[in-house]
Structure 1
Amino acid sequence: MEMELIFNNQYVSVSYDEFIVNGKIHPIKNITSSAEIGLLKPERGVARLAVFGGLILLFGNENLPILGGILFIYGGVLCFTAKPRYSVVINIIGRKEDAYISENSLEVDNIVKALNIALGMREITF
């Protein structure tokens, strides 16, 4: 019997029976509630360190202000180009899991909708 796919891309497949992410299979019957979209804030630790290190070096002697300026600009660029990531959050018998993570919010939204359709059909068939 061939699976009827609700959603399929290079890394994710959603059918009425299974949710497959990078080869890892999550049976739909084990997912205990509706899927959700999670927001993962970008890591900005290195950018902040570069900005503050650059500020300190700006007040140094000789060539340190030049290095401080470069480091400050580099940290600012890192800070402003960091993008949030989105995840497909599923509840699997007692725990939450970020099943799939992407920078593309539309892709994650489509996966969550497909999962919720599969979960809804599970509710109807049982």
Structure 2
Amino acid sequence: MQETSLFDDGRVSVSSTRFVADGKTHLISDITSVRLKHTPARRGIADFLFFIGIGQLFTPFSSILPPLLCFLMGFIAWIVAKPKYIVVLVNASGEVNALTRSDQESIKKIIDALNEALSLK
């Protein structure tokens, strides 16, 4: 079978015979299925800073600056925290987390290309 390219963005490539991501090559013939795994954003530090900022507002003898700084840092931490989307390859040995990105659309395109490659084998 001739190898045809199904997806390539410079860092990740999917062809009819192999999947290359993060410098690792996975043979399509070894893969039995592919799935998307979602890990929510970790916003515990942001929540903590929010609550500290709100708590400081209600303490006596407190200036407005420390609560505002905590609240601002919490807001920035909340915005910076991103969910992670993972391409999970299932093979005879188990599951492999092959690629992790915070961009869901690119992961969906890669999974679609992998499913197309699996249908060609």
State the TM-score bracket (shorter-chain normalisation): 0.7 to 0.9
Q: Name stretches of at least 5 consecutive residues in structure 1 with no aligned partner.
A: none
Checking the alignment, whether the CA contact within 8 Å between 2:41 and 2:81 is kept in structure 1 is yes
- Alpha-carbon deviation of 1:65? 4.3
Q: Residue type matched to 1:76 in 2?
A: F
Among the aligned pairs, what percent are the same residue? 29
Q: Residue type matched to 1:55 in 2?
A: I
**Matched residues in 1 for 2:78 and 2:109: separation?**
29
- Alpha-carbon deviation of 1:62? 4.0
Deviations 1:5-28 (A, max 9, x none): 111112111111111102101111
- Alpha-carbon deviation of 1:64? 5.3
Relative to structure 1, is the Cα distance of residues 62 and 10 closer, same or farther in structure 2, using a 3 angstrom cutoff?
Answer: farther
**TM-score of the aligned structures, taking structure 2 as reference length:** 0.82
Q: Name stretches of at least 5 consecutive residues in structure 2 with no aligned partner.
A: none
Matched residue, 1:37: 36
| Structure 1 stretch displaced more, 21-30 or 77-86 | 77-86
Give the RMSD, CA atoms, in angstroms.
2.3
Relative to structure 1, is the Cα distance of residues 64 and 89 closer, same or farther in structure 2, using a 3 angstrom cutoff?
Answer: farther
**Matched residues in 2 for 1:17 and 1:80: separation?**
39
Checking the alignment, whether the CA contact within 8 Å between 1:87 and 1:98 is kept in structure 2 is yes
Q: Does 1:6 align with 2:2?
A: no
**Matched residues in 2 for 1:47 and 1:116: separation?**
37
**TM-score of the aligned structures, taking structure 1 as reference length:** 0.79
Deviations 1:29-73 (A, max 9, x none): 22122x122222111011012112222322335455421222023
Checking the alignment, whether the CA contact within 8 Å between 2:48 and 2:74 is kept in structure 1 is yes
**Matched residues in 2 for 1:21 and 1:96: separation?**
15
Aligned pair count?
121
Q: Residue type matched to 2:35 in 1?
A: E
**Matched residues in 2 for 1:18 and 1:58: separation?**
57
Matched residue, 1:91: 90
Checking the alignment, whether the CA contact within 8 Å between 1:58 and 1:66 is kept in structure 2 is no
Checking the alignment, whether the CA contact within 8 Å between 1:7 and 1:111 is kept in structure 2 is yes
**Matched residues in 1 for 2:106 and 2:89: separation?**
16
Matched residue, 1:24: 24
Checking the alignment, whether the CA contact within 8 Å between 1:59 and 1:65 is kept in structure 2 is no
